[in-house]
Amino acid sequence: MDTQVVNIHIFGRTLKLSCPINEIDALNLAAKDLDDRLNELRRKTQLMNSDQLIITAALNISYELTKEKLKNGQLDSEFNDRLKTLQKLLENALNFSNQSSL
């Protein structure tokens, strides 16, 4: 997989990262999102300590990710339950059809 060195700008800092070429746009979007979150936190909280801001932003992002994982897990479970119900209905319909033709 081909990679490229990309300069991203977050919170007044420039970072050079090696990134797969097909992921550069996503990396830039993620960097912009993080930069926006950090600046918004600084504005809202008036915290000047970069470490506190970064940890708070990371915790907020982790919390959002955890909620999405839980929601996806619930959706997967519901999907699997519905799929099992459909399989049973199909099996019953096929069994009924086979018995009727005898």
What's 78's domain CATH number? 3.30.160.880
With CA atoms as reference, report the closest residue to 41 among 65, 64, 11. Answer: 11
Q: Which residue has the higher pLDDT, 6 or 81?
A: 6
Residue 31 identity: A
Domain containing residue 59 = 3-100
What value does the mean pLDDT take over residues 49-64?
A: 92
User: Band of the pLDDT at 101, cuts 50, 70, 90?
Assistant: low
- pLDDT > 90? residue 58: yes
Residues 2/20, Cβ–Cβ less than 8 Å: yes
- Number of domains the chain is built from: 1
What value does the mean pLDDT take over residues 25-44?
A: 95
Residue identified by tokens 């300590």 is 49
